[in-house]
Structure 1
């Protein structure tokens, strides 16, 4: 192999000062990251579609205080939290949900996206599913999030 001088067009020095050969086969590091991102996106779409079906065929309640009341009375099947829910509220709901052995899903969207995805025109920080209806979200969610039922 040639030693690489400024006249060799296939060797260049990157902005970090490293000499690189343009024709070397390098493993592409982003392929596994892209595959995991696609799997995560697909599972989130599945969860969102199941939650949408719950909105149509099941029963649910929106809001922080009704969420706490439903958890304390033991009437919940699943609690969904927005990602920008305040930390104190999130930890309190997580604590009570673990005591009540209820599943908790931390949604990837913020409270505006959670409300809009559920067909509401206002912000929703917490959503409680009391009856999943035809969605079957309770069966698939522990597999997706790693929770134990």
Structure 2
């Protein structure tokens, strides 16, 4: 799911990634790292590295921030943890819990809307009441 989110980010021409992670989440960052030994073996055997292209980031474009303890403030604390990296620049938060398909993708549409009207934007997924846990 995180790879799908990163693909959507790239489609929207966002080039810098900040992952706010916690204990036991090193696989997320390692997914985007280069496995030199594996790639050398694949190349040596005549295999294409093209399937790995979507997992690559440019040096310096991926930053991780550690959230030692979630404070129960929803996303607020995670965003706060990334404040030194993000600064005053516009940013997007991705929660890859749901996939939204569209052309262009949701984030590209949101960036277009931001460029037209500015301000804060949020994308939500409408869920039928019968599917909500509180009402089920």
**TM bin (shorter chain):** under 0.3
Which protein, 1 or 2, shows the higher relative CO under an 8 Å CA cutoff with sep ≥ 6?
Answer: 2
Q: What TM-score does the superposition give when structure 1 sets the normalisation length?
A: 0.22
Q: What TM-score does the superposition give when structure 2 sets the normalisation length?
A: 0.24
